[in-house]
Amino acid sequence: MANGAIHNRDTFLQTIAKRLGREPITSTVLRPDWKHQPQWTVFQGYSQDDLLEVLKSQCSRIHTDFVATTADALAATLKQTVAQYGGGPVVTWNDPRFAEYRLMPLLQSEWPNEQIDVHIWDASAGRKNIEWAEKANVGITFSDITLAESGTVVLFSNSGKGRTVSFLPQTYIAIIPKSTIVPRMTQAAAYIHKQIENGEQVASCINFITGPSNSADIEMNLVVGVHGPVKATYIVVTDR
């Protein structure tokens, strides 16, 4: 991709430097070692099982249904959850994990045979994908990193992992391998920071999603389900 343009930068930054009483900085600035780093102590020493419990209890505070299952039972659990949400249409990421977790038969034959439309994200179909997502009753993605403290799934976009799958459909299901659970956002941020330091390109969209969409703009009354999904379920795969 061609570089973008930068306008009016020099005078702008010179003004800042001047106000700060020095010349513009030309050498590299190193971040200091912050004197306090309480973020690293949250759930320090927690096992994966402990973190799962934290996640579970947080779900009740973010209006999100929590379901624990195993890799073997995942397809059945997913099917049941979608049925509870009233069935299709379903839209999912095009993500190798669906095959890895043996969900392709469900997506490709079981549901279609039951007249449940399934759209797997297909970059070659262009903006048609957005129409699918918009009409979908259920959007399904895997979680790339899961934050126990806040009950958050972290989603990195790419050509197969469309952004809108998680927020355009009426309801949303995240499949969470237990191994993706970390204490809090600190670990996710550190992971991404490392990627950048290693010269990797960060995803154009990283979503930190915590339950369904909501608003308290009317008299501070909480309304769940405003622009994004009105309901959300986390399905945790406890043996992965």
Instruction: For residue 109, count CB atoms less than 10 angstroms from its CB and return exposed for 0-12, middle for 13-18, buried for 19 or more.
Output: exposed
Nearer to another protein, 106 or 118 (CB): 118
Nearer to another protein, 57 or 70 (CB): 57
Nearer to another protein, 45 or 115 (CB): 45
Start-to-end Cα distance in the chain: 37
Q: Are 143 and 176 in contact, with CB atoms under 8 Å apart?
A: yes
Q: Are 139 and 171 in contact, with CB atoms under 8 Å apart?
A: yes
Nearer to another protein, 53 or 134 (CB): 134
Q: In angstroms, give the least distance from the CB of 202 to another protein.
A: 5
Q: In angstroms, give the least distance from the CB of 98 to another protein.
A: 18
Q: In angstroms, give the least distance from the CB of 224 to another protein.
A: 9
d(CA 82, CA 86): 6
240: amino acid identity, one letter = R
Q: In angstroms, give the least distance from the CB of 122 to another protein.
A: 8
**115-127 burial, b for 16+ CB within 10 Å, e for fewer?**
ebebbbbeeeeee
Nearer to another protein, 87 or 208 (CB): 208
Tell me 71's DSSP state.
Answer: T
d(CA 160, CA 155): 12
Nearer to another protein, 80 or 195 (CB): 195
Q: In angstroms, give the least distance from the CB of 191 to another protein.
A: 9
Pairing state of beta strands 214-218 and 231-237? unpaired
Q: In angstroms, give the least distance from the CB of 178 to another protein.
A: 20
Q: Are 66 and 146 in contact, with CB atoms under 8 Å apart?
A: no
Containing 152, the helix (H) or strand (E) segment is strand 152-156
